[in-house]
């Protein structure tokens, strides 16, 4: 239930209309962009740290409020049914968006490379899952374990082609 709640809130915030042009904040600053990248990578490495919750909140609001930053969340890339995905840790699911954003900020020339952005998000989510397993082995998921095996076999990029049909058309 925690997964559905956090992901639902993140999706609601990301899908919400932005304020009118006069009330809208400016583009993300260089400092915010650098912090976004480092925060995304820190959340991959230590998703259960004492400051992780606040970091996720800050990063979500940055992606919602900054008019020049946007990454779509595509949980369908995880496979399985919606019911199976709802049982996944929210930290793993939302990390797809954060890691995709970090990729875009690190590789701005690839902003239109939809498959690479989503793949970076999926790989970040898997790193998050591995870090969580080290501290909470009871969260093991057959769905995520299968993706880890596909990653190790080098099969994730091929798998992405079919799965991306369910994803939003543009990371922008």
Q: Which of 5-19, 25-39, 47-61, 134-148 has the lowest mean pLDDT?
A: 5-19
- Would you state the pLDDT for residue 1? 47
Q: Both tokens of residue 83?
A: 């019911």
- Identify which of 121, 122, 131 has the alpha carbon closest to the alpha carbon of residue 44: 131
Per-residue pLDDT tens digits for 47-60: 999 999 999 999 99
- Residue 59: helix, strand or coil by DSSP? helix
Domain limits of the chain?
27-166
- Average model confidence (pLDDT) for the chain? 87
Per-residue pLDDT tens digits for 24-34: 789 999 999 99
What would the DSSP string read from start to end of 73-121? --GGGG-S-HHHHHTS-HHHHHHHHHHHHHHHHH-GGGTT-HHHHHHHH
């Amino acid at each position: 239930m925690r997964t559905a709640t956090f992901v639902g809130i993140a999706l609601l915030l990301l899908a919400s209309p932005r304020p009118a042009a006069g009330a809208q904040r400016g583009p993300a600053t260089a400092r915010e962009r650098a912090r976004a990248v480092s925060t995304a990578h820190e959340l991959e490495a230590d998703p259960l740290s004492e400051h992780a919750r606040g970091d996720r909140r800050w990063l979500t609001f940055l992606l919602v409020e900054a008019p020049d930053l946007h990454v779509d969340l595509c949980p369908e890339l995880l496979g399985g049914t919606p019911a199976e995905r709802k049982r996944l840790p929210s930290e793993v699911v939302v990390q797809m968006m954060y890691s995709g954003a970090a990729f875009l900020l690190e590789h701005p020339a690839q902003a239109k490379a939809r498959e690479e952005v989503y793949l970076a998000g999926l790989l970040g989510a898997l790193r998050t899952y591995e870090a969580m397993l080290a501290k909470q082995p009871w969260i093991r998921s057959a769905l995520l374990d299968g993706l880890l095996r596909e990653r190790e076999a080098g099969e994730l990029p091929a798998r992405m082609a079919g799965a991306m049909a369910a994803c939003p058309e543009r990371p922008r």
